[in-house]
Homo-oligomer: A and B are copies of this chain.
Amino acid sequence: MLYLIGIGLWDARDITLKGLDVVKRCTRVYRESYTSRLSASVSDLEHTYGKKIILADRSLVENGEEILNHAENEDTALLIIGDVFAATTHLDLMLRARERGIEVRTIFNASVLTAVGVTGLELYKFGRVTSIPFLNANVSSPIDVYKSNKKSGLHTLFLFDLDPQKNKYLTIADACTYLLEHKVSAKTQAIGCAGLGSDSPEIRYAQLSTLKSLTFHLLPQCLIIPGTLHFMEEEALKRYKGL
């Protein structure tokens, strides 16, 4: 049996009781290391879960053989930062497991896609989500997604590219640079979020030109450009202005 287990956004205590029950009974536990960044180290997780954890990089998960060979015979867990299906590779692994007749069970957890609700923006009013690539990539689709959402009055969540193995994380400042370079107005109001899921997330609401020079300490980070605001959303955002 293969268990795909979301472990949430921040630390070792973000796993669910159900997730931990399963981890304890698996004979092998992997943790993917490339779709996001957890504040907890592998040894933090090992300490809290009482279980040895094998770090699985992109090639190990994409190749899949090692994990699936084990899951064919024994209870095997793959721990995934955030919720389980935010990344396509985990869907691919599920499909290949099923092809081989391996039963797959999913244990959900928090995702940045709904945690952004803490800003006060209504989740119902988000359009399609998009990702900003590292600055050397010349991709314009995030801008297309933003324009299309904007036209419908919808909020746009920009997630950021990352390369945890090289400790490379795109920042809010990088994202602002990217948007400005792609002709998004410097006066556009946006919300920078860092460390969602922590006790003290950093959330700031300002024009892109200002946001670009503010300091955010936590990782991972993301950015939202709000669409048409309801008065309650405006009210909520006031708290994050002028800091």
Contact = CB atoms under 8 A, between A and B. Distances in A.
State how many copies of this chain the complex holds.
Answer: 2
A163 interface: no
A72 interface: no
Contacts of A92: 232
B6 A13 contact: no
A235 B88 CA distance: 13
A239 interface: yes
Give the interface size class of chain A.
Answer: 35 or more
A135 interface: no
Interface in A145-170: 148, 152, 154
Given A13-B21, A21-B13, A232-B95, A129 B123 contact: yes
Contact of A110 (B110, B197, B199): B110
Contacts of A115: 83, 108
Interface string A5-38: 0101101111111101100000000000000000
A232 to B, nearest CB: 7
Given A13-B21, A14-B18, A18-B14, A106 B124 contact: no
B84 A117 contact: yes
Interface string A99-116: 000000110111101110
A118 interface: yes
Interface in A210-243: 232, 235-236, 239
A81 to B, nearest CB: 13
A19 to B, nearest CB: 8
**5 A-B pairs closest in CB distance:** A85-B117, A108-B110, A13-B18, A13-B17, A111-B114
Interface of A: 6, 8-9, 11-18, 20-21, 48, 83-86, 88, 91-92, 94-95, 98, 105-106, 108-111, 113-115, 117-118, 120, 122-131, 148, 152, 154, 196-197, 199, 232, 235-236, 239
Given A17-B17, A83-B115, A105-B199, 4 more contacts: A95-B232, A108-B110, A110-B110, A113-B123
